[in-house]
Structure formats: C-alpha cells, structure tokens
Amino acid sequence: MSEKPRFPPSPAWLKSRHLRPWRAEPSAVGSRSPRRSSKTLLPNLESTTRGQTRLEQYRQIVLASRPKGVPVPNNFRLETGAVPSPAEGQLLLRTQYLSLDPYMRGRMNAAESYAAPVEVGEVMEGEVIAEILASRHPHYRQGELVQAKIGWRTHAAVAPETVRRVETRGNAPTTALGVLGMPGFTAFSGMRVIGRPSTGETVVVAAATGPVGSLVGQLAKRVGARAIGIASGAAKCAYIRDQLRFDVAIDRNSGRLSDALAWACPDGIDVYFENVGGPVWDAVLPLLNRYARVPVCGLIAHYNAAQSPPGPTSAEVMQTVLRRSVLIRGFINAEFATEHYDAFLEEVGPLVKSGDIRYREEIVDGLEAAPNAFVGMLAGRNFGKLLVRVH
C-alpha cells in the first residue's frame, strides 16, 4: 500500500526517513558540489544506523491535480512503496540527480502540446542520472551511471533500451543534465541551425544564467558576436558579465527594460534567442535588424498564464517580420539530435573541461524538495541549472 502524505512533508515524516529539509546549494562556477559518499547497498536493502538492513522504499512524486496558474503544493503528491525487483533483462535504477526543467510546467496542463501531458495520478516527467543498483542484462553492470527519463522518483526497474550511459567527456556527471545535456544541446542546435550568429553581430538572450541562455551567449562570444544577457537581479547580472563574459547584462526587473536594451544594442539585434516571451519580447521586437533570426526556444513568461498577456498584436509582429525579413523559427531540440548531437558533445565537451565554457548548477537536496524548487524556477529563483540530489 502506498502512503500518500501531503506537501510539504511534516518535519516528523522527514525525520523518520533521515531526510534533511530543503536547502539551496549554489555551486562554484564551472564546477559542482561534491558527491555525498554513497552507502554500501545491496539491491532492495538499505543500511540503517544500527548496521542492520531493512527493505528500501521507493518514493515518487505524482501530479495530484492540474494547476490553475502558478502550481501549488496540492498539485503534487508523494507516494512510497516497496522498491521493484528487476525482471529478467531489466535494470534496477536508483536516482542520484533529477533534472528540473521549465517544460515540465507544460506537462501539468491537459492542453495539447508537442508532447503528451502527464495524467493526474501519474509520476511527474523528468530525466535523471541514476546508478544501476542491480542488472539482469549482460551489457550493464551494477554501479554504472546512466541517464533515463524515469520521472520524479527514486527507483525504477527499466528496460535497457530506455537508458543511455552518462557521457560527459570527462566532466562531472551532473553536466549530462545541463550544459552537456538536453538544455546545452538546445542552445547549441538553436544557435547552429537557426541563430547562426557571425562576427560583429548582436545576440540577445534572456534567462541568461540558466543552462540554455548561458551557453547561447557564450557560443555567440566564441564567433565574435556581442552577447547581451537578460536576467533578474544584481547577482545574476554580475555573473553574466564577470563569469560568463557577456558584453552587457540587463536586469529584467529594473523597470526600464526597453531603454536598457536599446542602449545595449546601438546597432540593433541580429539574433534574439527567445527563451521567455512576455515583456522581453516586447522590448526586442522594435530593435530587430533586417535579416534578424529568432530561434523560438521557450516562452517561460507565459507558462503559468491562464490567458494571453498584453503585448504587440500579431499584425504588428507580422509587419516587422515582413518589413525586416525576419526569420522566426520555433524548435524542439530533439528535431536536431540525429544530425547535431555528436558534434555538440565533441565541440562543447572539451570547452567545458578546459573552462572556456562555464556553467553553474543549483542543487537542492531530497526528492521532497522538488515541487518547491520547480515552482521557484518558474519565478526565476534558481541560479543556474536546477538539480535535485536524490541519493
């Protein structure tokens, strides 16, 4: 039988499972927090403080109800149960890190999208880095690290076709969920296929300290373009300038976004990598140059919105598109994977290793912290790639 406690879990519940409360842990530039030492484990068994063993329980977070606007704790539910035994040919995974990504907000809606929604009662979707606790497949051995889309859960028994070995070109395993994973590839492919910046051009990106935006600007700099980053708050802006080495950082909450952007882009904007929509897009539109390119990657400013926000009318947008021969192209990273993923790892992997490409992670502890951290990300409270350390 599954227990179904509510969020947030009570201090007593956390204590009974030896869990710590939520803690944000910004890691150093280009690095990650040290791994906690792993316990000695047998499949399905967990050490106790007295040196005895007891059955290990899985924990998972399911969609309890669909949010109206900003998600609230009651939209999530924690469930527990006995860890599954892998069938012949399967692998038993134990999650080390769960990636929290903006797209998950879309999966909480029933509305049609490029991917099917998570049904109420189903596990929240998500990609993890997991350790193989037990292998019943000849090609995998216990202890190997793999990536898998098993969702917000601590354990899963899966077919090997649904996992792939973590490949980070010698970088920390967590980079496989960020700068060297799906978000990094999104930046790389969106810039390579659609943005195509060249020397002297001006590239603008918002959510500029996150795993997508931070790589967009750094790739722009590498081809000799100017990079303008937009983010919230002084600390993020300082990071964009001093660590990511963009040319200008703009605080989106400064109240003078249009003026600041016009000042930062005296020659107009050649590539606007659209991560956010909303007021940033409104400020960008008048500054787009002839032949500007707009890879439309994400619209996070609208993810919690119940209705369309005010802004330029579609007629105004289309007039700009026509008069200035602007290319606006939406994309989902997966469409470019076959052609460009190998090149991405080949090119960006060594640059991360050498420190020429920088990244930042924010790691929160414990699966139970995922809902709060996720909701915080939708409001810009994360600073870097948001991960949950699960084990």
Ligand X SMILES: NC(=O)c1ccc[n+]([C@@H]2O[C@H](COP(=O)([O-])OP(=O)(O)OC[C@H]3O[C@@H](n4cnc5c(N)ncnc54)[C@H](OP(=O)(O)O)[C@@H]3O)[C@@H](O)[C@H]2O)c1
Per CB under 6 A, the list member of 146, 163, 191, 297 interacting with ligand X is: 297
Nearer to ligand X by Cβ, of 151 and 210: the residue is: 210
Nearer to ligand X by Cβ, of 41 and 327: the residue is: 327
333 near ligand X, judged by CB under 6 A? yes
Of the candidate spans 27-35, 56-64, 150-158, 374-382, the one that interacts with ligand X by CB under 6 A turns out to be 374-382
360 near ligand X, judged by CB under 6 A? no
Binning the chain into helix, strand and coil, the percentages to the nearest 5 are 30, 25, 45
Give dist(CA 102, CA 207) in Å, integer: 11
Per CB under 6 A, the list member of 207, 219, 271, 351 interacting with ligand X is: 207
Give dist(CA 177, CA 99) in Å, integer: 6
Q: β-pairing, 53-55 with 57-63?
A: unpaired
Angle, helices 182-189/211-222, rounded to nearest 10 degrees: 40
Smallest separation (angstroms) from ligand X to the CB of 149: 14
99 near ligand X, judged by CB under 6 A? no
- For CA atoms 201, 207, 208, 210, the dihedral sign is negative
Helix ranges (H only) for the chain are 11-16, 103-107, 182-189, 211-222, 234-242, 257-264, 278-284, 314-323, 337-354, 370-378
252 near ligand X, judged by CB under 6 A? yes
Residue with the CB atom nearest ligand X in the bound state: 210
CB 136 within 8 A of CB 144: no
Q: Tokens in use for 152?
A: 């917000």
Residue 242 identity (one-letter amino acid):
D
Smallest separation (angstroms) from ligand X to the CB of 151: 17
Nearer to ligand X by Cβ, of 126 and 183: the residue is: 183
Nearer to ligand X by Cβ, of 133 and 387: the residue is: 387
232 near ligand X, judged by CB under 6 A? yes
Nearer to ligand X by Cβ, of 168 and 382: the residue is: 382
Q: Tokens in use for 253?
A: 């909450």
β-partners of residue 53 are: 47
- The alpha carbon of residue 52 and the mean position of all alpha carbons in its chain are separated, in whole angstroms, by 38
- A 10 A CB-CB count for 357 gives 23
Nearer to ligand X by Cβ, of 94 and 389: the residue is: 389
175 near ligand X, judged by CB under 6 A? no
Instruction: Quickly tell me which residue has 């708050």 as its tokens.
Output: 233
β-partners of residue 76 are: 63
Count residues contacting ligand X (CB under 6 A)?
32
Of the candidate spans 62-70, 221-229, 313-321, 331-339, the one that interacts with ligand X by CB under 6 A turns out to be 331-339
Give dist(CA 367, CA 159) in Å, integer: 23
Q: Tokens in use for 139?
A: 């090609």
Smallest separation (angstroms) from ligand X to the CB of 232: 3
349 near ligand X, judged by CB under 6 A? no
Smallest separation (angstroms) from ligand X to the CB of 284: 12
120 near ligand X, judged by CB under 6 A? no
Of the candidate spans 33-41, 144-152, 275-283, 366-374, the one that interacts with ligand X by CB under 6 A turns out to be 275-283
Per CB under 6 A, the list member of 22, 90, 93, 101 interacting with ligand X is: 101
- The alpha carbon of residue 46 and the mean position of all alpha carbons in its chain are separated, in whole angstroms, by 30
Nearest to 389 by CA among 353, 361, 359, 355: 361
276 near ligand X, judged by CB under 6 A? yes
185-204 residues near ligand X, rule: CB under 6 A: 186
229 near ligand X, judged by CB under 6 A? no
Smallest separation (angstroms) from ligand X to the CB of 58: 27
β-partners of residue 205 are: 229, 273
183 near ligand X, judged by CB under 6 A? yes
Which residues would be at the binding site for ligand X (CB under 6 A)? 101-103, 183, 186, 206-207, 209-213, 231-232, 236, 252, 275-276, 278, 280, 297-298, 300-301, 331-333, 377-378, 380, 382, 386
